Structure 1
Amino acid sequence: MDVLAEAVVAGAAGAELERLPLPARFTAAHLRAEDVDSFTGVADKDVRKSIHVGSVPMPELAPDEVLVAVMASGINYNTVWSAMFEPIPTFTFLKHFGRQDRWSARHDQPFHAIGSDAAGVVVRTGAGVRRWRAGDHVVVSPVYVDEEDPATHADGMLGAGQLAWGFETNYGGLAQYGVVRASQLLPKPGHLTWEEAAVNPLCAGTAYRMLVSDRGARMTQGDVVLIWGAAGGLGAYAVQLVRNGGGIAVGVVSSEAKAEYARGLGCHVVINRAEIGLVGSEPADPATVGKRLGRLIRAATGEDPHIVFEHVGRATFGVSVFVVRRGGAVVTCGSSTGYQHEFDNRYLWMRLKRVIGSHGANLQEQSAVNRLLGLGHISSALTASYPLTETAEAARLVQNNAHMGKVGVLVLAPRTGLGVTAPGPVQAG
């Protein structure tokens, strides 16, 4: 650990952090451009073979950027995609981004420091940064926006320059230092540990936009919401948001252990995939599986779902369109089983159903969900933590869907349980 990182871990004040020199290099979980073709013709694209942990150079900081000493990070499915070089190698994103201007050119490197979640301490701010200073405890939104794009000011997710930090940009969160735009930062909830805080932004923000935001499904009290993968990272936050918002959460999981976890989060009804004949990642027959699923949901709730929370993709999308009620909405992000979806359009058009595409969350939505975490109305979905040196093992767990909730990664934090600065959640009212 360099002297600046040591000072961060020791809890040094912001003034001292500003005086200490930046290291020329730092440790990061990263991919190598030379490995891009290594999985060609390979059935099991084991991410443990492509994720490396080692030294990378420190970039120059742009005027609108902040350098965060990362105490903890988390594994998201985009880390798995990056490490599998699918659907295209992320080096393609970096090359495209690098052509924009001088500052973007820093991202086009023969390495890609990955990771789209982080909690840590600000150690440097660019000349144009006003709201943040060294020593601040922060969490990082994964949404990297172009503030000069007019569309960004209507909705950060609509700007043409919007990118996923650590996936479509370099210098992500699975590293001792992360380079972020000031518009990505929010204050860390004081009652959470570093690892508890680090794993929330991407999945909690995405679930909030999908379900609660007026840009998503606009869930209201009493809505029956079908949640695929209710014990996973996205699902764990979706269950809590549905429960807290007065909805009825119906979760689909793949094991009894995951069913117990989903119930503990507040899932009203839990259905095992095996009960409806849904096995593996191949597309299910929508009518056959959909009728079975619909019967189970109606038996438990008395009605068909108003909303389907869909992120599994190819294996389940046809069932989602089939099973949602007349006039209901399928809100979708990601596609962990494949992007090419098939569904019977008669059920969509003749029954006036809607498909809503959703991606990430703008800063206002991230702030809203961060407030809920601060109030204790939503809990961190952290279930396991790995050291940075074992990032590849942590990613493999997610790749195999062998995890529950979110998997955290300790970066500069020497052990779990650190970073708490408040005795408990702030109580509303």
Structure 2
Amino acid sequence: MKTTALAEAVVAGAEPAELARLDVPSAYRAAHLRKDEVGSFDQDDQDKDVRRTLHVGEVPMPELAEDEVLVAVMASAINYNTVWSAMFEPVPTFAFLERFGRSDARHDLPVHVLGSDAAGVIVRTGRAVRRWRVGDRVVTSPAYVDGEDPVVQHDGMLAGDLRAWGFETNFGGLADFAVVKSTQLLAKPRHLSWEEAACNMLCASTAYRMLVGERGARMKQGDVVLLWGATGGLGGYGVQLVRNGGGIPVGVVGTQEKAELLRRMGCPYVVDRSQFDGGLADEKGWRRLGAEIRRQVGEDPAIVFEHTGRETFGASVYVAKRGGAVVTCGSSSGYAHEYDNRHLWMKLKRIIGSHGANYQECHEVNRLIALGMVHPTLSAVYPLEEAAQAARAVQLNQHVGKVGVLALAPSEDLGIEDHALRARIGEDRLRLFRRPL
């Protein structure tokens, strides 16, 4: 697809007046699903290869609502919800779009533009947008909520119509342009490149709410925290937040290479799942895991950081200390969990459900990133044309940290403004996940 004058101006760093003068194109390039391909995977298909269903091509440009902005996307990132979407599991996301279409018909289309992370430049604003201007460099947060819902003033994640942008809405970030509510916008950290800035918000904010936010586990200094998938998209931020807050991280990984990456992150306690030949499906495996944690740290975890689900949840409930908490935000290995409830009620443990992060929590974690206190976990970058291959790498767990996708940015390492802060932090820390395992 030929680039448009507006896209070319954004890439060239044009002034806001020039961006406002240029026409918005009637169509744009995007990674998307097709409604007519729902059901293309057999139920007994063991490998629902997302490369079969995730397409990159031209889609129509929507109109903006009054409270929305149009962002020219320089870079985006793959999250596991893109994998679920492209597998049409647990339900096809077109069901979300059909339901949303009853109140906003723009979203109910035969194509679904995916992506719940983005960094870019605002090129248009709706009439009701007050705090943002054309030309602002921004990153997006993923919670799409109705600002007129009273509960949003308390906690946006309790909103009855809460949607994950680019998953339960259309016009997501894996594209040259994205439609975003103004209440999703945050200032781009100035010391990061476009792809580094684009990879953080969904996972970093989710980890923040789980561990630090007042609605999560509320970690305190000295808490031992067990983190499953500690070098993954969520875990890589979780480890940093635990260390920053004075907690004691215990990272669980599946290979010695990932264990070494954890140690380079400053996580001194590492559990290698591959050492558990019998697995973690029963109490025998749970006991071995608990013994290994106590051997290394001297006590049971006060908090277990859960997102893997079925394969690990029984172990998580078991190893949490008396009065401790399991905080969970997902189930990448399956939603139907089994655990021994005796270990929950008799030892006064808690299970805390956590989903995404509200706007304030996203602001707080973006501030930490902008200050250089939390760093990107970017490990690989693909061009938008290869978005399906990028999603496949995540589907097969062939990655660590986050996988980025360049949209309008013509190459990596662009968009850095604060070189002094970057130099103080050091390239080794900022690019830690980019080093070969």
Shorter chain as normaliser: what TM range?
A: over 0.9
2:199 and 2:297 map into 1 onto residues whose CA distance is: 32
Please say if 1:144 is aligned against 2:144: yes
Please say if 1:334 is aligned against 2:330: yes
Structure 1 stretches lacking a partner, 5+ long: none
Which residue is 1:75 aligned to?
A: 78
Identical pairs, percent: 64
Please say if 1:94 is aligned against 2:81: no
Please say if 1:304 is aligned against 2:300: yes
Query: What is the CA-CA distance between 1:121 and the residue it aligns to?
Result: 0.2
**Total equivalences in the alignment:** 421
Which residue is 1:28 aligned to?
A: 30
Does the 8 Å contact 1:70/1:176 carry over to 2? yes
Which of residues 39, 48, 62 is equivalent to 2:65?
62
Which residue is 2:320 aligned to?
A: 324
| 1:222-275 deviation per Cα after TM superposition (whole angstroms, max 9, x unaligned) | 000000000100000000000111111101111111111222222221111112
Which residue is 2:347 aligned to?
A: 351
Give matches, 1:146-185, under 5 Å. Answer: 146-185=146-185
RMSD between aligned residues: 1.2
Does the 8 Å contact 2:11/2:408 carry over to 1? yes
Does the 8 Å contact 1:113/1:166 carry over to 2? yes
Q: For 2:167, give the aligned amino acid.
A: F
| 1:359-378 deviation per Cα after TM superposition (whole angstroms, max 9, x unaligned) | 00011100110010011111
Does the 8 Å contact 2:281/2:312 carry over to 1? no
Which residue is 1:5 aligned to?
A: 7
Larger deviation: 361-370 or 256-265? 256-265
Q: For 1:273, give the aligned amino acid.
A: R
User: What SS does the corresponding residue of 1:418 show, helix, strand or coil?
Assistant: coil
Please say if 1:109 is aligned against 2:105: no
Please say if 1:409 is aligned against 2:409: no
TM-score after normalising by structure 2: 0.95
Does the 8 Å contact 2:228/2:306 carry over to 1? yes
Does the 8 Å contact 1:47/1:392 carry over to 2? yes
Does the 8 Å contact 2:281/2:311 carry over to 1? no
| 1:27-65 deviation per Cα after TM superposition (whole angstroms, max 9, x unaligned) | 000000011101123220000101000000000000000
Please say if 1:291 is aligned against 2:287: yes
Give matches, 1:185-334, under 5 Å. Answer: 185-277=185-277, 284-334=280-330
Following TM superposition, the consecutive aligned residue runs of length 4 or more in structure 1 with deviations greater than 4 angstroms are none
Does the 8 Å contact 1:286/1:322 carry over to 2? no
1:199 and 1:54 map into 2 onto residues whose CA distance is: 22
Does the 8 Å contact 2:51/2:389 carry over to 1? yes
User: What SS does the corresponding residue of 1:106 show, helix, strand or coil?
Assistant: helix
1:208 and 1:219 map into 2 onto residues whose CA distance is: 10
User: What SS does the corresponding residue of 1:425 show, helix, strand or coil?
Assistant: helix
2:243 and 2:373 map into 1 onto residues whose CA distance is: 10
Query: What is the CA-CA distance between 1:278 and the residue it aligns to?
Result: 6.2
Query: What is the CA-CA distance between 1:209 and the residue it aligns to?
Result: 0.2
CA gap of 1:287–1:24, structure 2 versus 1, over 3 A, is same
Give matches, 1:345-424, under 5 Å. Answer: 345-424=341-420
2:111 and 2:263 map into 1 onto residues whose CA distance is: 41
1:285 and 1:404 map into 2 onto residues whose CA distance is: 24
User: What SS does the corresponding residue of 1:6 show, helix, strand or coil?
Assistant: helix
Does the 8 Å contact 1:374/1:425 carry over to 2? no
1:212 and 1:99 map into 2 onto residues whose CA distance is: 36
Which residue is 2:51 aligned to?
A: 48
TM-score after normalising by structure 1: 0.97
1:63 and 1:285 map into 2 onto residues whose CA distance is: 51
User: What SS does the corresponding residue of 1:222 show, helix, strand or coil?
Assistant: coil
2:241 and 2:133 map into 1 onto residues whose CA distance is: 32
User: What SS does the corresponding residue of 1:368 show, helix, strand or coil?
Assistant: helix
User: What SS does the corresponding residue of 2:148 show, helix, strand or coil?
Assistant: coil
Query: What is the CA-CA distance between 1:421 and the residue it aligns to?
Result: 1.1
